[in-house]
A = this chain, B = another copy of it.
């Protein structure tokens, strides 16, 4: 980028915003606030941090650790309060930028009230497509295991948890549902492979399942009941559902996209199937959703991969037979993809883009020619 003349040169810098805020949810009590806080600090900002009050004690301890390690007390402000209080605080403080991780509904309210001075990681809706190429038995077992983990681990309360599984007919024919159902059946309260859902009750999940089962051709694949037939000590305000899946024909999904693509933040997923000829319907479905978070294209078929990737938009998209939607901490770029408000997390590029802004400084220092005079007006 040369200048107009000798002595002029232009340099781009990434500058901190200065005063910023961070608001994070219950489901990752440490990872999300710690990574975003450190990113904000690395870029030179002064963060005000608020963690969901149900789990704030975890980050509170981490702050004490940071102080013990040398973080100056005045570099971070951590506030313990409800979401309503934080909302009022943000309106009054008007930080240069607020990072919010949480539900799309609250994200939109914040974005409106803060006039867009936000970076968001909405909850999104995460899908996985299994392509036409089915590997050998070990490969099928491995991929079923990844699907089970993506949908059911932490009772489906990862922001990147798989909520829609789009299955090529070849996989259905190879017995995928049997493998998945068996894995789901192994999960139990006893070994903590299932547990309570904090933001959605058993009744809510059951009602949603019932609506889906009323769609033409829908059927329950596994689950659908309360854990242990209701014999547990999970408090009533939380949910306690078995890992659950409902299969809905793709035509019915397309005719009821809003219903089928509602995220529950519970161990629940919609499953649908397609044939080679129906791939265009799949692409239509994937792009009909508003929110794009993570996605996975489980296939080693390069032409298939390209067809799906080039016609969809997701912040973080895994591709290949080992593709997953959750659990790969080195590649974090979530948020509402295809959206100027999208935040990233964890990588150097994500930290730079989320926590700093562009400043262009142009040097222009050449001496003025001794004979210079004002140009004549004509």
Interface residues, chain A, CB within 8 Å of chain B? 1-4, 6-8, 10-12, 15, 17-18, 96-97, 108, 111-119, 135-136, 138-139, 141-143, 145, 183, 186, 191, 193, 300-303, 306, 309-310, 313-324, 328, 330-331, 333, 337-342, 344, 347, 349-350, 353, 357-375, 377-378
CA distance A18 to B119 in the complex (A): 20
**Known contacts A116-B114, A313-B15, A97 near B340 by CB under 8 Å:** yes
Are A349 and B313 in contact (CB-based, < 8 A)?
no
User: Chain A binding site: helix, strand, loop or mixed by DSSP?
Assistant: loop
Q: Which residues of B contact A17 (CB under 8 A)?
A: 338-340
User: What residues of B have a CB within 8 angstroms of the CB of A135 in the complex?
Assistant: 367-368
A1 with B313, Cβ < 8 A, contacts A323-B364, A337-B359, A338-B18 known: no
Q: How far is it, in angstroms, between the C-alpha of A362 and the C-alpha of B321 when the chains are bound?
A: 11
Q: Min CB distance, A100 to chain B, in Å?
A: 11
Q: Are A318 and B18 in contact (CB under 8 A)?
A: no
Residues of B within 8 A of A2 (CB): 330
Q: How far is the CA of A347 from the CA of B360 in the complex (A)?
A: 11
Question: In chain B, what residue has the closest Cβ to A322?
Answer: B364
Residues B359 and A333 in contact, CB atoms below 8 Å apart? yes
Cα-based distance from A239 to B143 in the complex (angstroms): 58
> How distant is A163 from chain B, measured CB to nearest CB, in Å?
19
Q: List 13 A-B contacts (CB under 8 A).
A: A7-B306, A15-B338, A135-B367, A136-B368, A139-B368, A145-B375, A183-B374, A191-B377, A302-B363, A306-B365, A322-B364, A333-B358, A333-B359
Task: List B contacts of A365 (CB < 8 A).
Answer: 300, 302-303, 306, 319-322
Contact B111 A314 (CB under 8 A): no
A108 to B115, CA, bound (A): 6
Say whether, besides A1-B347, A353-B358, A319 and B364 are in contact (CB < 8 Å). Answer: yes
A309 touches B371 (CB 8 A): no
B18 engages A136 (CB within 8 Å): no
